[in-house]
A and B are shown apart, each in its own frame.
Chain A
Amino acid sequence: MTNVIPTSQVSSSTGLRTLAEKVWDKHLVTKGEDGTPDLIYIDLHLLHEVTSPQAFDGLRLANRKLRRPDLTIATEDHNTPTLAIDKPIADLTSRTQIETLRRNCAEYGVRLHSLGDIEQGIVHVVGPQLGLTQPGITVVCGDSHTSTHGAFGAMALGIGTSEVEHVMATQTLPLNPFKTMAITVNGTLRTGVTAKDIILAVIAKIGTGGGAGYVLEYRGEAIRALSMEGRMTICNMSIEAGARAGMVAPDQTTYDYLEGRAHAPRGADWDAAVAYWQTLATDDGASFDAEVIIDANELEPFVTWGTNPGQGVSLSGSVPNPADIVDANERSAAERALEYMDLTAGTPMKEIRVDTVFLGSCTNSRIEDLRAAAEIIKGKTKAEGLRMMVVPGSARVRIEAEAEGLDQIFLDFGAEWRFAGCSMCLGMNPDQLEPGERCASTSNRNFEGRQGKGGRTHLVSPLVAAATAIRGTLSGPWDLVQDGDQ
């Protein structure tokens, strides 16, 4: 991070502050001097089985206490099976990680939601669902998609194992200030275009490194119109643009989502909290270090063709020709990607046939995502030979979906209805692609081998996932209308 302009210096001349700066200032324990970082207080620490074991062990070795068990919560997600969850986990490494988390949480008094528990699920689905993720707080987790929680106007950062240990012991983190970038999405999304399409378009526009050093703030009419689920989808993938975090200022939609949740403030506390939350929005006239403007009216469903999330086009477009790419690095990356993805330049995206559809991950596995997909597939038949896997983000989402009969819609369609977890998003459990298998996935990373060795991933929205499962080729809801299906 060279040439980082400390955010605190940018608009201090005017006294006007952005959302990110306000949250930062509020959590400053000590201000760094002579190039040393600021010390920032952490309100909420989320743990899972993969990045916590050595942090706990470091604590134990140094004979240190977990400073604030009451600000810490753990869930099992990355390794958990999504079938037969009552049986011992077959894979030894996975089982060891889960068992270690259980022992550590018991020893240090950390609240843990284990496999089988109603609050178990993907850590970034669980925090908001419990009402723990709130506007204006700082949230960290040893996982890069912690940015999800920024949808509430929280400063949410993914951290590494040694930082996890640091937060455990001190409830603080030494951090350097960030730059701020406004991503303004004007206009209105057309029917069939979703939050996922906005963020894929943003990443294609600024590139996978475009957000490096920045905290992104999503603003504008189209963002205001989104549900909390949609805002989470967008903030979730901020990391895919290289950003440190993504945020959306809280508003009535945020308050309505939170009110009544298990850990949301109640009574007089609620009023006090809302009064504070209302002060968080970026001041009119506050300046950002950079700004990007997107017109929602023009957006179409977006899909990726390559092996990083920035390699995407509109669904109505075609696989690009690397020869047309000016930047030499990007050109060779595109060439490599097409080879790995087994795609030919110029092929219309809609002619690409997929083998598997994965509806899940912390990007798109909340109830709204499942409802949207179910509505499209209801009464339809799955494409011949295609497999569809539906993995709710949390046990609670699964139960909620079952109460609404969504499970039956998926099962009737011929999809698999699984238990909650990260699942095929990263294939740490048995849910993996076979070599060469092509997948339309609602997750966030299309890296080589991410969903299984040799697997080929196209990132899509839940609506595109559903339409694709019906037609067998990459498709959007509009294509179904044209088929005369609706």
Chain B
Amino acid sequence: MQKFTTVTGIAVPLRRSNVDTDQIIPAVHLKRVTRTGFEDALFAAWRQDPDFVINKKEYQGGRVLIAGADFGIGSSREHAVWALRDYGFDVVLSPRFGDIFRGNSGKQGLLAGQISEADAETLWNLVEAAPGIELTVDLVGKTVRVGDLTVNFEIDDYTRWRLLEGLDDIGLTLRDEARISEFEATRESWLPQTLPARSPESTH
């Protein structure tokens, strides 16, 4: 996972609350055998409407999604985070997140920053007045800057640390890699190995 410090990119205003994971990625799009390629599945139902915000040309290449309250509620599917990441979003700002979604985000390098309802409104107005405007999300200072305006966002310390360090679950474990290697050095030589393949010694 990439270390996350600041992101500067186009902001996309999603003026909707209670966006559940079924809307982020409808179930019919879950059949893939890959971890990537979900970008077209993101908000697939809403994107049928040419006026949906993501379809507008000013917002192409958006990296920061500003959503209404209770973003990411519903089923625990990790695909919701994958779809947002695949599309190109590095940050979602919302006044409140679904718990599981927020947990999954931190593990997959998506910053889920909590802002106040008032700041969400301010940011929406600002971005809608100047579509395609870029803003800067600073994880070190926990701020969002656009022009002269700076608003704060909240994120728990543990997730922030993981994002700053670029550690997913596996990355966390691999910090102990020396311990794993030490452990491996003590394993008995007769423990089973799948390679090379062997044939039975006798018939069974």
Given A62-B1, A170-B180, A272-B188; A70-B204 close (CB under 8 Å): no
Residue B199 interfacial (CB < 8 Å) = yes
Which of A57, A111, A273 makes the CB contact (< 8 A) with B195? A111
Instruction: Convert A68-91 into 0s and 1s, putting 1 for each residue whose CB lies closer than 8 angstroms to a CB of B.
Output: 011111000000000000000000
Q: Which residue of A lies closest to B191 (CB)?
A: A43
Which of A93, A100, A134 makes the CB contact (< 8 A) with B192? A134
Residue B176 interfacial (CB < 8 Å) = yes
Interface-lining segment among B9-17, B33-41, B46-54: B33-41
Q: Which residues of A contact B169 (CB under 8 A)?
A: 162, 166, 174
B172 to chain A, nearest CB (A): 8
Distance between Cα atoms of A2 and B34 in the complex (Å) = 35
Given A54-B33, A93-B31, A172-B180; A72-B194 close (CB under 8 Å): yes
Please tell me if the beta carbons of B180 and A171 are within 8 angstroms of each other in the complex: yes
Within 8 A of A (CB), among B147-204: 168-170, 173-174, 176-177, 179-180, 183-184, 187-195, 197-204
Q: Which residue of B lies closest to A273 (CB)?
A: B190
Q: Which residues of B contact A43 (CB under 8 A)?
A: 187, 191-192
Q: Which residues of A contact B179 (CB under 8 A)?
A: 29-30, 39
Residue A169 interfacial (CB < 8 Å) = yes
Residue A165 interfacial (CB < 8 Å) = yes
Residue A453 interfacial (CB < 8 Å) = no
Residue A336 interfacial (CB < 8 Å) = no
Residue B70 interfacial (CB < 8 Å) = no
Residue A378 interfacial (CB < 8 Å) = no
B174 to chain A, nearest CB (A): 6
Which of A70, A172, A270 makes the CB contact (< 8 A) with B173? A172
Residue B78 interfacial (CB < 8 Å) = yes
A450 to chain B, nearest CB (A): 19
Distance between Cα atoms of A243 and B202 in the complex (Å) = 36
Residue A22 interfacial (CB < 8 Å) = no
Please tell me if the beta carbons of B173 and A262 are within 8 angstroms of each other in the complex: no
Residue A381 interfacial (CB < 8 Å) = no
The winner among A54, A174, A272 for most chain B CB atoms within 10 A is A54
Which of A57, A260, A276 makes the CB contact (< 8 A) with B36? A57
Please tell me if the beta carbons of A166 and B33 are within 8 angstroms of each other in the complex: no
Please tell me if the beta carbons of B193 and A57 are within 8 angstroms of each other in the complex: no
Residue A265 interfacial (CB < 8 Å) = yes
Q: Which residue of B lies closest to A92 (CB)?
A: B31
Q: Which residues of A contact B193 (CB under 8 A)?
A: 70-71, 263
Residue A317 interfacial (CB < 8 Å) = no
How many interface contacts (CB-CB < 8 Å) are there between A and B? 113
Q: Which residues of A contact B176 (CB under 8 A)?
A: 29-30, 39
Distance between Cα atoms of A220 and B179 in the complex (Å) = 39
Please tell me if the beta carbons of B170 and A263 are within 8 angstroms of each other in the complex: no
Please tell me if the beta carbons of B34 and A57 are within 8 angstroms of each other in the complex: yes
Which of B107, B188, B192, B202 makes the CB contact (< 8 A) with A260? B202
A103 to chain B, nearest CB (A): 10
Q: Which residue of A lies closest to B37 (CB)?
A: A57
Distance between Cα atoms of A174 and B175 in the complex (Å) = 13
Please tell me if the beta carbons of B190 and A269 are within 8 angstroms of each other in the complex: yes
Please tell me if the beta carbons of A69 and B195 are within 8 angstroms of each other in the complex: yes
Residue A190 interfacial (CB < 8 Å) = no
Please tell me if the beta carbons of A170 and B174 are within 8 angstroms of each other in the complex: yes
Q: Which residues of B contact A273 (CB under 8 A)?
A: 188, 190
Instruction: Convert A258-293 into 0s and 1s, putting 1 for each residue whose CB lies closer than 8 angstroms to a CB of B.
Output: 011111111001101100100000000000000000
Q: Which residues of B contact A170 (CB under 8 A)?
A: 170, 173-174, 177, 180
Residue A96 interfacial (CB < 8 Å) = yes
Distance between Cα atoms of A111 and B195 in the complex (Å) = 7
Which of A39, A71, A137, A269 makes the CB contact (< 8 A) with B189? A269
Which of A30, A62, A174, A269 makes the CB contact (< 8 A) with B168? A62
Distance between Cα atoms of A264 and B198 in the complex (Å) = 10
20 A–B contacts from the bound complex (CB under 8 Å): A30-B176, A39-B173, A39-B179, A53-B33, A53-B34, A54-B33, A57-B33, A62-B168, A69-B194, A137-B192, A162-B78, A170-B173, A170-B174, A171-B180, A174-B173, A260-B200, A261-B200, A262-B198, A262-B201, A269-B189
The 7 closest A-B pairs by CB, nearest first: A260-B202, A53-B33, A269-B190, A57-B35, A265-B190, A73-B194, A260-B201
A-B contacts besides A57-B35, A137-B191, A169-B173, 15 pairs, CB < 8 Å: A29-B179, A41-B180, A41-B183, A54-B33, A62-B168, A70-B194, A132-B194, A172-B180, A174-B173, A259-B201, A263-B192, A263-B193, A269-B189, A270-B190, A273-B190
